[in-house]
Amino acid sequence: MYSMTINGEAVTTEDSFEILNPATGEVVGHAPNATKEHLDAAVEAASVAFKSLSAMPIEERQALCVAVAKVINDNAEDLAKLLTLEQGKPLNGLGSRWEIGAAGAWAGHTATLSLPMKTIQDNNEGTVELHRKPLGVVGSITPWNFPILILAWHVVPAICTGNTIIIKPSPYTPLTTLKLVSLLNEVLPKGVLNCISGDDKSVNLGSEMSAHDDIRKIVFTGSTETGKKVMVNSAETMKRLTLEMGGNDAGIVLPDVDAKTIAEGLFWGGFVNNGQTCAAIKRLYVHEDVYDDVCTELVNYTKNVVVGNGMNEESILGPMQNKMQFDKVCRLVEDAKTKGRVLLGGSPGEGLFYPPTIIADLDDSDPLVYEEQFGPALPIIKYSDIDDVIAKANDSQWGLGGSVWARDIQKARDIALRMETGTVWVNKHLALQPDAPFGGVKCSGQGTEFAQEGLEEYTDIQVISY
Ligand code: NAD
């Protein structure tokens, strides 16, 4: 059994749950099933550790973040293999090796950031200073699609600003997180980073964390439905919240594009991590002048992508991660087939494998267009009027990302400014970077991650005036 880490110690439980390899159905390992008492012990350890971490000079905390990055980088290959086994994503492509590498890079960049005191006023009438103070104990709740990259997004800014953490991974993919937290505890002071796991059955640890009296903030990445529960459960204790939730990103292709040139970017925008990505292209609007060409070139690119067991070096996409998500994609594609034109894929494979699927001639009344499919099935919608397509892109409860594909960059930028999303990319999608803030609007979330703006979310402001 893999161990949790509480106060720097390895902790197991009598009760455990199995983690299955999505490619084969075989058991990869067992994770501890924590109780409320384990959560309380982790919160207690983090509360004690907060006293010394918050008093540490920023340079020393930055050095801890550098050490975190080094542990991730030094153990990259082992972590990538374990991640592939439990998550399903391939070692190659934008898979496990990419994810672990990106986690190391994000940690390294965050280690360069700080929030120095700002002087707002300093004159004959007095001095006013703005200080950024760490919050205390932070609860991190992560999903199954990018468990380690999201760990880095939650944990490193928290440590950099002087907070201590309890991380709770998804029941589908806890093993790599349990392993990495155990390794990180070799370089972090005890109690700074604790990890508990559970199967969400008899105890829902995320819910308990959201309501816990001694946790000051929850940073949550997951579905909109669960994010709303986090808000409700944390209301009583007025927690700070950063919520990164679902999306239904639109890609808008303008009539001046060269279809062949953009096909690879469109593919990765839609199918990264098998489409199980918060900010993937989930609906593609293509102008009627280039509609047939874009459909043809996207299919030509996608049909050559190798799908297989992620441990095979040649695989570029793996299986879907879990049955719940697989069933959702099956349902949405079956429905879309009654109206749309299947250009590629369209029927489930063995086990949890679902081939990359492209369905044309749909519109905004189709569930594959307006629901979040979170899988390898991309709907294409023809449009003729730009104002109309912007209105359709914006007609969504979500507002995470979006993209515009065009030769005329200025025109694309003007359209981008009219989109109601946290990020808009031009001629690319999901090109996240650690120095650019990322977050959703509307039901895609609250708050922002990355860069200085992301760091600030782990602090309270205190003004001193004299
Ligand atoms: P999920 O909401 O089912 O689970 C996320 C986490 O919440 C898990 O750790 C789960 O155990 C925990 N949880 C379950 N019940 C809870 C409760 N009542 N209170 C608190 N926590 C609880 O999401 P998922 O299926 O793991 O992930 C897929 C979703 O995440 C998609 O909707 C996707 O768009 C979104 N996502 C968003 C981002 C982003 O940055 N915006 C990134 C990745 C995934």
Concerning whether 278 is annotated as a catalytic residue, the answer is: yes
Q: How far is CA 113 from the centre of its chain?
A: 21
Long-range own/partner contacts, residues 212-216 (CB < 8 A, 24 or more apart): 212/39, 212/43, 212/139, 212/237, 213/237, 214/43, 214/44, 214/47, 214/136, 214/137, 215/43, 215/136, 215/137, 215/138, 215/139, 215/166, 215/239, 216/135, 216/136, 216/137, 216/138, 216/163, 216/240
Residue 200 pLDDT grade (very low, low, confident, very high; cuts 50, 70, 90)? very high
| The predicted structure's pLDDT at residue 376 | 98
| The predicted structure's pLDDT at residue 109 | 98
For 94, 145, 248, 408, 437, the CA distances from 422, given in Å and listed in that order, are 23, 20, 12, 22, 9
How far apart, in whole angstroms, are the C-alpha atoms of residue 260 and residue 244? 33
| Ligand 1 pocket member 458 (CB < 6 A) | no
| Ligand 1 pocket member 247 (CB < 6 A) | yes
Burial string for 223-245 (b: 16+ CB within 10 Å, else e) reads ebebbebbeebbeeeebbbbbbb
From the alpha carbon of 233, which atom of ligand 1 is closest? 19
- Provide the residue ranges of all domains of the chain, joining segments of one domain with +: 4-245+444-465, 249-426
| The predicted structure's pLDDT at residue 320 | 98
How far apart, in whole angstroms, are the C-alpha atoms of residue 74 and residue 458? 27
pLDDT in tens, 320-365: 999 999 999 999 999 999 999 999 999 999 999 999 999 999 999 9
Phi then psi dihedrals of residue 332, to 5 deg: -65, -40
| The predicted structure's pLDDT at residue 90 | 98
In a 3-state reduction of DSSP, which class is residue 241? strand
| The predicted structure's pLDDT at residue 105 | 98
| The predicted structure's pLDDT at residue 304 | 97
From the alpha carbon of 207, which atom of ligand 1 is closest? 19
| The predicted structure's pLDDT at residue 182 | 98
Residue 458: what residue type? Y
The fraction of the chain above a pLDDT of 70, given in percent, is 100
From the alpha carbon of 146, which atom of ligand 1 is closest? 43
> Could you tell which of 148, 150, 170 is best to mutate to test the pocket of ligand 1, judged by most ligand atoms within 8 Å of the CB?
170
Give the domain 249-426 fold: Aldehyde Dehydrogenase; Chain A, domain 2 (3.40.309)
For 128, 276, 277, 326, the CA distances from 376, given in Å and listed in that order, are 54, 7, 10, 10
CA of 139 to the centre of ligand 1 (A): 14
How far apart, in whole angstroms, are the C-alpha atoms of residue 175 and residue 180? 9
| Ligand 1 pocket member 219 (CB < 6 A) | no
Phi then psi dihedrals of residue 276, to 5 deg: -85, 60
| The predicted structure's pLDDT at residue 112 | 98
**Other beta carbons within 10 Å of 284:** 27
> Could you tell which of 87, 209, 272, 278 is best to mutate to test the pocket of ligand 1, judged by most ligand atoms within 8 Å of the CB?
278
CA of 166 to the centre of ligand 1 (A): 16
CATH of domain 4-245+444-465: 3.40.605.10
pLDDT in tens, 154-199: 999 999 999 999 999 999 999 999 999 999 999 999 999 999 999 9
| The predicted structure's pLDDT at residue 245 | 95
pLDDT in tens, 38-62: 999 999 999 999 999 999 999 999 9
| The predicted structure's pLDDT at residue 337 | 98
CA of 245 to the centre of ligand 1 (A): 7
> Could you tell which of 142, 153, 223, 328 is best to mutate to test the pocket of ligand 1, judged by most ligand atoms within 8 Å of the CB?
223
Nearest CA to ligand 1 atom 18: 207
Active-site residue, from 244, 297, 449, 457: 244
The 3-state DSSP composition of the chain as helix, strand, coil percent (nearest 5) reads: 40, 25, 40
pTM of the entire predicted model: 0.98
How far apart, in whole angstroms, are the C-alpha atoms of residue 6 and residue 208? 17
How far apart, in whole angstroms, are the C-alpha atoms of residue 172 and residue 416? 36
pLDDT in tens, 72-86: 999 999 999 999 999
- Up-side HSE of residue 366: CA atoms within 13 Å toward CB? 25
Nearest CA to ligand 1 atom 26: 143
Residue 104's nearest CA partner among 142, 77, 85 is 77
| Ligand 1 pocket member 142 (CB < 6 A) | yes
187 near 210, Cβ under 8 Å?
no
- Up-side HSE of residue 218: CA atoms within 13 Å toward CB? 32
User: Mean of the pLDDT values across residues 313-325?
Assistant: 98
Q: Which residues are registered as beta bridge partners of 377?
A: 357
- Here the tokens at position 212 are 């816990």
179 near 96, Cβ under 8 Å?
no
Concerning whether 244 is annotated as a catalytic residue, the answer is: yes
| Ligand 1 pocket member 401 (CB < 6 A) | no
How far apart, in whole angstroms, are the C-alpha atoms of residue 376 and residue 379? 10
| The predicted structure's pLDDT at residue 451 | 97
Average pLDDT, the chain: 98
Long-range own/partner contacts, residues 451-455 (CB < 8 A, 24 or more apart): 451/113, 452/113, 452/115, 454/157, 455/110, 455/113, 455/114, 455/115, 455/157, 455/160, 455/161
Active-site residue, from 65, 160, 195, 278: 278
Q: How far is CA 337 from the centre of its chain?
A: 30
CA of 143 to the centre of ligand 1 (A): 5
| The predicted structure's pLDDT at residue 215 | 99
